[in-house]
Amino acid sequence: MTDVNLNVISEKDLGNKPCVIKFPCGLPPQYYIESEPKFQSYSKKISGQPKRSRVILSATEKVEYESNTIPNDTETHLQNPSTSSKFAMGVYDKSKNTLTLIPTDIYDMKQSIIGYRLTLENQNTSGMSKEERYVEIKKLANDFGSKITKKKMQKMEMENVENLDIEKTAKAVGSHQNLAADKESDEKPLDLPPFNKSTSKEVEVYPIDEILPIKVYFHLNALTFSKFVETSQELDSKYPKYFNAIIQRLKASGSADTPVHKDDIEHACKILSFMYFTILLLTKKSVSELTNQGCHHDIKNYLLDTFAHKVTKDKIFLMDENRIKIINYMVILSLHLEDFVAKNVPLLAQAVSMTVPAIEKHYLRVGCKSHRRSNDERYYSLETPLQFPKSKFAK
């Protein structure tokens, strides 16, 4: 037996911890592994967790890999030992006879096909019928699917073995689906992002990751506005005055002893970037204008899918319900930027070309309470647990 010197590195002494990545869906193609693939690491605020979580992203030309972290948390491990534990990597130095333990994280990489969202309900897939879409989905499941996905497809086939007419099956359950859809529209209003009515924490009422999915959040450029926070440089006049108010707020936050964390500045500036592109969509209604202003195609596609009624080659068409949804999202994002007490309501109204009384209705719609200042101006705070006004929202 040989004695080995043990050296343990503290997490505090590390920058970005090294990590181990797993591919539950099977190893990536051999050419991808041999080409020294690049992995991007970024932090993301997750609802219900006090700290940001690290996310790993990598992609080939057609397939994208995104991490689902296995939390390195002892308490979580005790609650669910099958999915969480503490990990460390050991590095042995033969010349010094020393084993160094380095804290690490383990990530499961989720595989998806870039730009592909084919479902049986998809109505925009090159005019394919539901049977044709079913065949394509089955092919995708066989080629790329995990064991669970393949089992689900087998189950679907077994359930339909005596009735392969998918169109007739769909009609047979149509009335039930309509009733379910009516119930869901009451529980999940179409003009609001997903929400949590049971929480008492404002930040969890409208989780930011439900408004800005990871792919969108990742491509938002915080530097567009963070440079104005960290320097004395003046904000470009093309941006609404609301943006300058938020930047000044970020500058004033904290002190020399407790400065604002860079991650918090980056997070706020990413929200501002998304709000700017949303304002462009609302006011310019032009796809090329979004592109010219540096809107990444993933952000642009998300904006169009979420808010647009119809899109031609360059023109974006918005109905009244689309505009209502856009303004609701904007006031919710403003609450996130102002610690859930919105005091810059007139400036936000100006940014989206609305009157103050009109935008105030949207703050009430999303569950805010109205307060009056001494100068007779109103401000709005998000109330918890979330309650919507009893009367239906009116424009």
195 part of a folded domain: no
Residues paired with residue 7 on neighbouring β-strands, in sequence order: 100
Contacts of 239 (CB under 8 A, 6+ apart): 276
86 part of a folded domain: yes
Query: 364 and 248 share a domain?
Result: yes
Q: Angle 155-157-162 (CA atoms, 0-180°, nearest 5)?
A: 120
pLDDT for the residue 75: 45
CB 30 within 8 A of CB 36: no
pLDDT for the residue 55: 74
Q: Angle 139-213-217 (CA atoms, 0-180°, nearest 5)?
A: 125
User: In this prediction, what percent of the chain has a pLDDT beyond 90?
Assistant: 44
Query: 59 and 101 share a domain?
Result: yes
Query: 174 and 259 share a domain?
Result: no
Query: 173 and 322 share a domain?
Result: no
Contacts of 280 (CB under 8 A, 6+ apart): 286, 289, 290, 293, 295
pLDDT for the residue 138: 72
Mean pLDDT score of the chain, rounded to an integer? 79
pLDDT for the residue 375: 74
Contacts of 97 (CB under 8 A, 6+ apart): 2, 3, 4, 5
pLDDT tens figures, 254-286: 655 666 788 899 999 999 999 999 999 999 999
266 part of a folded domain: yes
Number of independent structural domains in the chain: 3
Look at residue 289 and tell me whether its pLDDT is greater than 70.
Answer: yes
pLDDT for the residue 125: 46
Query: 236 and 378 share a domain?
Result: yes
387 part of a folded domain: no
Query: 245 and 377 share a domain?
Result: yes
- Average pLDDT (344-353) is 96
* Distance of alpha carbon 100 from alpha carbon 5, whole angstroms: 8
392 part of a folded domain: no
Query: 209 and 354 share a domain?
Result: yes
What phi, psi does 310 have (nearest 5°)? -155, 150
pLDDT tens figures, 213-248: 999 999 999 999 999 998 888 899 999 999 999 999
CB 264 within 8 A of CB 270: no
Query: 377 and 229 share a domain?
Result: yes
Query: 155 and 26 share a domain?
Result: no
pLDDT for the residue 210: 93
Last residue within a domain, chosen from 113, 140, 171: 113
Query: 87 and 169 share a domain?
Result: no
Query: 375 and 247 share a domain?
Result: yes
272 part of a folded domain: yes
Domain enclosing residue 314, as ranges: 202-382
Look at residue 350 and tell me whether its pLDDT is greater than 50.
Answer: yes
Q: Which residues of 111-144 are buried (b: 16+ CB within 10 A; e: fewer)?
A: beeeeeeeeeeeeeeeeeeeeebbeebbeebeeb
- Average pLDDT (12-32) is 74
pLDDT for the residue 82: 41
pLDDT tens figures, 124-181: 445 566 666 677 777 677 666 666 777 777 766 665 544 445 555 455 455 545 555 4
Out of 49-53, 258-262, 288-292, which region has the weakest mean confidence (pLDDT)?
Answer: 49-53
Q: What is the pTM (predicted TM-score) of this model?
A: 0.57
pLDDT for the residue 127: 59
Q: Angle 363-265-280 (CA atoms, 0-180°, nearest 5)?
A: 55
Query: 155 and 16 share a domain?
Result: no
pLDDT for the residue 313: 86
